[in-house]
């Protein structure tokens, strides 16, 4: 019987290892460790499927190393590609994938993104426009994924800095043999821009794949952290940041183009109601406490801000796992934290 899985295509941040240096978490001699955060939602009857074993695949983000992963482990073109935000470390591989599809099938390849994300992506890859079947994701609105049966996607806007136009979290709802499963992929994120009713929609998701760039807050990196501070009290760095911004700061990259009426009108609720910064979540721990995902998969680790601003060492993989067991697991959060490896298949 076929089942839904999340496959890890890459787990690294923008530059997992700086040229001329080493990183305790990533092995610079292993190209798979250099692949940026990317995952696929797949359907297969096999636990560790090869290309011929897949019923279908939906790929989320394709930065450095993503295509090399596909070529080595599962040499087939995903049925569709989803882009969470337009930064190049999440889009570099789309050129290769789209050209491959276009050369083989002589028709445009399906890509899903918000219109602001896609407009900025096209500036980076203008030659791809005629080779793409663009499917617009409108914030908060659920649509069918037309390339496969039994899958819907609901995009939720996110803030990942002023340059991440149209950044979004992706909530996938799958129905397989009458069983409903839900997967939330945050992409890179400092905080989700959710309304009260959205928390109910994503509460108890089976799997959350989360940006975990830092253990402790450094919001100027435009990534949230796992915890709110070293000693579990709110970091002064985080509090200072929150004190100097507003809700409109977080909405800025979503309200750049007022010609995209369907898009910017999605934010009327936030603009017209008394939404406060305290209503948003700037850490994985507080967000996971709110929505209680069954599993939380931690991606994109860097740790450089932890080292620079908190004097906390960057961790090796074993040290990170020990830290999770001793620190995070001790918190009252109803989720199972996972530190994934490349080519891991995470079952619902």
How would residue 259 be classed by pLDDT, with cut points 50, 70 and 90? confident
pLDDT of residue 62: 98
pLDDT of residue 82: 98
The SS3 assignment for 110 reads strand
Model pLDDT for residues 65-79, shown as the tens digit of each residue: 999 999 999 999 999
**What number is the average pLDDT over the span 56-67?**
97
Asked if 157 contacts 267 with a C-beta cutoff of 8 angstroms, the reply is yes
Q: By C-alpha distance, which of 216, 194, 213 is closest to 277?
A: 194
**What number is the average pLDDT over the span 194-218?**
97
Model pLDDT for residues 113-158, shown as the tens digit of each residue: 999 999 999 999 999 999 999 999 999 999 999 999 999 999 999 9
How would residue 177 be classed by pLDDT, with cut points 50, 70 and 90? confident
Q: Tell me the CATH number at 63.
A: 3.60.15.10
Backbone φ and ψ of 119, nearest 5°? -60, -40
How would residue 255 be classed by pLDDT, with cut points 50, 70 and 90? very high
Backbone φ and ψ of 123, nearest 5°? -65, -30
Backbone region of residue 56 per phi and psi (left: phi > 0; alpha: psi in -120 to 50; beta: other values): beta
Enclosing domain of residue 179: 3-347
C-alpha–C-alpha distance, residues 245 and 241, integer Å: 7
Residue 177 half-sphere exposure, CB side, CA atoms within 13 Å? 7
**What number is the average pLDDT over the span 96-107?**
98
**What number is the average pLDDT over the span 261-290?**
92
How would residue 330 be classed by pLDDT, with cut points 50, 70 and 90? confident
Q: Is the pLDDT of residue 35 over 90?
A: yes
More confident of the two residues 11 and 31? 11
Q: Domains in the chain: how many in total? A: 1
The SS3 assignment for 281 reads coil
pLDDT of residue 318: 97
pLDDT of residue 329: 73
Q: Is the pLDDT of residue 332 over 90?
A: no
Residue 131 DSSP code: G
Asked if 63 contacts 46 with a C-beta cutoff of 8 angstroms, the reply is no
Q: What is the mean pLDDT of the chain?
A: 95
Model pLDDT for residues 107-118, shown as the tens digit of each residue: 999 999 999 999
How would residue 286 be classed by pLDDT, with cut points 50, 70 and 90? very high
């Amino acid at each position: 019987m076929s089942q839904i899985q999340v496959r890890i295509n890459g787990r690294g941040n923008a530059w997992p290892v700086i040229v001329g240096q080493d990183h305790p978490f990533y092995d610079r001699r292993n190209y798979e460790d250099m692949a940026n955060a990317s995952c696929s939602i797949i359907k297969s009857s096999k636990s560790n499927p090869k290309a011929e074993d897949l019923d279908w695949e939906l790929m989320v983000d394709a930065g450095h190393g993503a295509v090399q992963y596909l070529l080595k482990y599962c040499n087939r073109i995903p049925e569709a590609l989803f882009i969470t935000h337009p930064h190049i470390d999440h889009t570099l591989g789309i050129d290769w994938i789209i050209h491959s599809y276009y050369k083989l099938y002589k028709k445009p390849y399906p890509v899903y993104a918000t219109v602001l994300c896609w407009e900025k992506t096209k500036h980076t890859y203008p030659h791809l426009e005629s080779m793409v079947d663009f499917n617009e994701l409108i914030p908060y609105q659920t649509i069918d994924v037309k390339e496969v049966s039994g899958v819907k996607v609901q995009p939720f806007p996110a803030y990942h800095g002023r340059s991440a136009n149209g950044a979004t979290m992706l909530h996938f709802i799958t129905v397989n043999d009458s069983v409903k499963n839900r997967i939330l992929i945050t992409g890179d994120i400092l905080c989700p821009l959710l309304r009260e009713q959205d928390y109910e929609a994503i509460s108890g998701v089976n799997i959350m794949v989360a940006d975990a760039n830092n253990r402790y807050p450094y919001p100027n990196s435009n990534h949230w952290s796992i915890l709110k501070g070293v000693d579990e009290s709110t970091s002064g760095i985080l509090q200072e940041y929150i004190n100097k911004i507003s809700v409109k700061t977080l909405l800025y990259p979503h309200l750049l183009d007022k010609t995209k009426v369907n898009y910017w009108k999605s934010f009327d609720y936030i603009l017209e109601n008394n939404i406060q910064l305290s209503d948003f979540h700037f850490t994985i721990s507080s967000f996971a406490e709110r929505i209680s995902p069954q599993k939380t998969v931690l991606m994109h680790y860097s740790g450089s801000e932890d080292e620079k601003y908190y004097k906390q060492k960057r961790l090796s993989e074993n040290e990170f796992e020990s830290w999770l067991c001793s620190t995070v697991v001790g918190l009252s959060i109803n989720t199972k934290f996972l530190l994934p490896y490349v080519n891991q298949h995470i079952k619902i």
